Chains A and B, each alone.
Chain A
Amino acid sequence: MTESSATKLLNGDVCRRTSNGKNASKNGYVKNHSLFKQPHKYQRPRDKNQNLQHNSSLYKKPFLESFEETPLLVAVLTYMGYGILTIFGYLRDFLRHWSIEKCHVASEREEQKDFVPLYQDFENFYTRNLYMRIRDNWNRPICSVPGAKMDLVERVTHNYNWTFEHTGKVVKNVINMGSYNYLGFAENTGTCADAAIQTTQVYGAGVGSTRCEMGNLDIHEDLEQLVARFLGVESSMVFGMGFATNSMNIPALTGKGCLILSDELNHASLVLGARLSGSTIRVFKHNNMQSLEKLLRDAIVHGQPRTHRPWKKILIVVEGIYSMEGSIVRLPEVIALKKRYKAYLYLDEAHSIGALGCNGKGVVDYFGLDPKDVDIMMGTFTKSFGAAGGYIGGKKELIDYLRRHSHSALYATSMSPPVVQQIITSMKIIMGEDGTSLGADRLRQLSENTTYFRRKLQDMGFIIYGNDDSPVVPMMLYMPAKIGAFGREMLKRNIGTVVVGFPATPIIESRARFCVSAAHTREMLDTALEAISEVGDLLQLKYSRRQQPLPSPGWTSEESLLQD
């Protein structure tokens, strides 16, 4: 990055009483800041108090998140279930090894059996023995647009999910509770689709080159200016693939000698990008500002591991909405910390752009903060805009640097024209620039749907994780057999859901993840809620020990304690 970084090693002996960051300094000079206002005084308790004071004043509306604790009996039974399945896994592996049963897994040829093993047997233990048995809940082929309702191809398996066959029938009008379709732009009719068709007729479908060479179309430039205007930043750049945006751009931003502080539950693309960059990575507890502050202070005080030189830059990597937990990042506190300790902030708004905030401008808009405080705003177009690809927004110097140095810009094919047009049209609708109020309606519908859905699920007695405003709703299942049972029972009732287990989640905390959409009408949500309640009763999923709302107001509930 071209700007000079101001992170500085604080020598234990030299403590100067300076003010925080108001000294002007020229490029190339290391600023000499002291973190402590008074020398040799242990600041921790006061800092914590300051943080607490800041906490209440930083948030304009109440920040309600809940992660109810796993009931003890359920945890024990879950471990027991996994234990039994592991024993059976060993039994089946034994049978496969001694050829008592047919082995469907990849294995070497007979002549190579004595060589170094090519296929790591034990790493795939979980895949072979657990995932395969309930594999029919994933990769279901969809044969229509994945909007609020979709059509699925019916499959049967004759050898317990090792191979599938299509029966030729189609399951029609399955309510889609799994697609990231927050604003309902996944549709094949309407202004977006028409504009995309027009653009295909002008530009074709493929681009045939990378951004740097011949793949820079004028609509790409238009889109980038539109995205910059939408986010409120100086300039932005778009990439063809959201995953590649993270994994190919973080290596361009940091390198050896830099420090990346990333959240525990960051997405695989962020982790991959951080590892590829070669920087030191330190992980802080999920959404825990005390942990982050401690890491920042340690980093600044001790510097790099052996040489104790100052870090070249410190980059805090967080996401807007964490899709597995449904939690929203504590952005005001992160920005306060970033300013205090002179670190840079990389905000991945994959799920929150378009879905949060009164204008749909993401988590920065939701908290009412200044977009200029976030150094690198990254996001994807897959979720709320109904397209594909990612963007990075920030200062002009940053984006110009990325245009020259990002791997994705240099080597990856640029975005396809109809996809670009879909984003342009949908973004204009969200901003309200197309003249209709469709964008505002959809944003309002999404927040209403979210509140309604979450409240109803919590009232029914399920354990729901996450923030009350996030459209991603994870519902806990815990036991391994219930993962498969839930997916199948919901499909029987014509509702398509996504169930998640290990390794995407901790081993006992498997869940079903619902994504509320603005395209869902109240009737669809009611149908879905009724089916979820029915399946919840059938499978005994209502684990919550919270106070259940009763119609008669006179009762005080002594039985269930309000647990967090």
Chain B
Amino acid sequence: MELRRSAYVIREPGGSGSAWDARPVTLCHQSVGVQGISRRLQRVHSLSCRMNFKNLREYLAWLYYQYLLITGIYVLEPWEKSVFNSILFSAIAMVIYTSYVFVPIHVRLALEFFSGIFGGQPESTMTLMN
């Protein structure tokens, strides 16, 4: 895969390589499997490498620009952008808070439930043997 990437891209020496290793996928086509996903991630990675980002701030600004374009907010007036951003941000904050509060409890209960079904069986077989 390294060879494929270099076919597209001349790596900038001063780029903040570390920040790009854990990137969200911005473009994800219909996948043909797990291998296909990883190859597409690399392709997307290499595509945005061509952009020559000088620092992290520029990269984040470009990500925000992509968010504006994809949601269509780009065409709206600034106050409308603020309204949408605040609604979206508060919705996401609520989701995160709820998941922080409730997900561990639900996961623990689910594990107890399933271990109760499967974990109980060996004991009963032992008693029968005895």
Contact = CB atoms under 8 A, between A and B. Distances in A.
Interface of A: 71-73, 77, 80-82, 84-85, 88, 91, 130, 133-134, 160, 479-482, 484-485, 537-540, 542-543, 545, 550-552, 555, 559, 561
A130 B75 contact: yes
Interface residues on B, range: 20 to 34
B74 to A, nearest CB: 4
B28 to A, nearest CB: 6
Which 7 A-B residue pairs are closest in the complex by CB-CB distance?
A: A81-B72, A481-B74, A133-B75, A559-B39, A481-B69, A481-B72, A85-B72
A72 B70 CA distance: 14
Given A73-B29, A133-B76, A561-B32, A84 B7 contact: no
B76 A537 contact: no
Contact of B70 (A81, A537, A551, A552): A81
B48 A134 contact: no
Contacts of B43: 559
User: How would you classify the secondary structure of chain B's contact residues: helix, strand, loop or mixed?
Assistant: helix
Interface of B: 3-4, 7, 26-30, 32, 36, 39-40, 43, 47-48, 50-51, 62, 65-66, 68-77, 80, 84
B75 A484 contact: yes
A545 B39 CA distance: 12
B73 A540 contact: no
B59 to A, nearest CB: 13
18 contacts: A73-B29, A73-B30, A77-B70, A81-B70, A84-B73, A88-B80, A130-B75, A133-B75, A479-B70, A481-B68, A481-B73, A484-B74, A538-B62, A538-B65, A539-B69, A540-B26, A550-B4, A561-B32
A550 B73 CA distance: 36
Scoring A77, A485, A539, A540 by chain B CB atoms within 10 A of each residue's CB, the highest score goes to: A540
A72 B76 CA distance: 25
Contacts, number: 80
B51 A537 contact: yes
A160 B77 contact: yes
A7 to B, nearest CB: 47
B48 A537 contact: yes
Contacts of B27: 73, 540, 543
B4 to A, nearest CB: 7
A484 B65 CA distance: 13
Contact of A559 (B7, B40, B65): B40
Contact of A551 (B7, B71, B74): B7
A552 B28 contact: no
B72 A552 contact: no
Nearest to A73: B28
Contacts of A540: 26-27, 47-48, 66, 69
B3 A552 contact: yes
A84 B36 CA distance: 31
A88 B84 CA distance: 9
Contacts of B48: 537, 540
A134 B72 CA distance: 12
A363 to B, nearest CB: 35
Contacts of A550: 4, 7
A480 to B, nearest CB: 5
Contacts of B84: 84, 88
B71 A80 contact: yes
Nearest to B69: A481
Contacts of A552: 3, 7
Nearest to A161: B75
Given A88-B80, A479-B70, A537 B75 contact: no
B7 A480 contact: no
B29 A71 contact: yes
Scoring A84, A91, A484, A552 by chain B CB atoms within 10 A of each residue's CB, the highest score goes to: A84
Scoring B50, B76, B77 by chain A CB atoms within 10 A of each residue's CB, the highest score goes to: B76
